[in-house]
Each structure stands twice: as structure tokens, then as C-alpha cells.
């Protein structure tokens, strides 16, 4: 049995490269958030059709299968002299169920291992 390399897709067949991950928990609500940061987004030219033409789900795939998540927010950052250079995309996913949190963490560990990323404390 071959191991499936973890992948992230905003649009089917357009594989994105994750730059950073931030894990947070609301002090009062207890809701956990995963913030996925992309310095470059291959699907940016197709983002308009993504937000208008689909359900807005992000496809995460690993050896356990697919996870379809709907981000609670997506922020596109622009900069440069004219303010039109893509500087990155931040995608927040809110999770309030323990089993969903554990599944996302397994995916993130696999993705990190496959892409040379490592966990760092603040």
C-alpha cells in the first residue's frame, strides 16, 4: 500500500504550499482555531470563481483520506509599491469538536513531516 502525500487544494487539482500554521484557542469560548498561512497561492487568479462558484471548501488530503473544511475567514494580503503584489493568504478554520481537532492535527503533522516543517513555540 502506498502512502498518500498530504496535500492542500483551494481548487480541485491546484495544489498549494503551506507556509506557516498557527494554533489558537479562545480564552472564553474554548473554540480552537487553525490559521493556515500561504505566502504564495497558485489559485489566486481563480479565487473569484472559488468564492462565487463553489461552496468555499478547502480540500485537505492525506493517507486517512480527504477532509473538506469551510474556512471561517480568508484574508488576501497585498503590498508592494502599487499595493497590487500578492504577499500571502491567511485562512482560518474554527473547530469546536475534539474528534475534528484530532483529525486536523494528524493531517498537519503529516503535512509538516512531508514538507520539512517543524513546530516552534512562540
CATH, residue 59? 2.40.30.220
pLDDT at 77: 83
Model confidence at 50: pLDDT above 70: no
pTM: 0.68
Q: Looking at the domain assignment, is residue 1 inside a domain? A: no
- How many structural domains comprise the chain? 1
2 Cβ contact partners less than 8 Å away, ≥ 6 residues apart: none
3-state class (DSSP) for residue 113: helix
Q: Where are the alpha helices (DSSP H) in 37-116?
A: 47-53, 98-114
Model confidence at 47: pLDDT above 70: no
pLDDT tens for 87-110 read: 888 889 999 999 999 999 999 999
Amino acid at each position: 500500500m502506498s502512502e498518500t502525500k498530504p496535500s492542500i487544494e483551494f481548487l480541485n487539482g491546484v495544489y498549494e504550499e503551506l507556509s506557516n500554521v498557527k494554533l489558537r484557542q479562545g480564552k472564553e469560548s474554548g473554540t480552537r482555531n487553525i490559521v493556515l498561512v500561504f505566502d504564495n497561492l497558485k489559485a489566486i487568479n481563480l479565487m473569484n470563481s472559488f468564492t462565487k462558484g463553489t461552496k468555499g471548501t478547502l480540500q485537505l488530503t492525506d493517507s486517512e483520506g480527504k477532509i473538506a473544511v469551510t474556512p471561517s475567514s480568508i484574508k488576501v494580503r497585498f503590498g508592494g509599491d502599487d499595493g497590487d503584489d500578492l504577499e500571502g493568504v491567511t485562512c482560518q478554520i474554527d473547530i469546536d469538536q475534539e474528534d475534528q481537532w484530532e483529525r486536523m492535527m494528524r493531517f498537519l503533522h503529516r503535512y509538516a513531516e512531508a514538507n520539512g516543517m517543524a513546530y516552534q513555540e512562540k
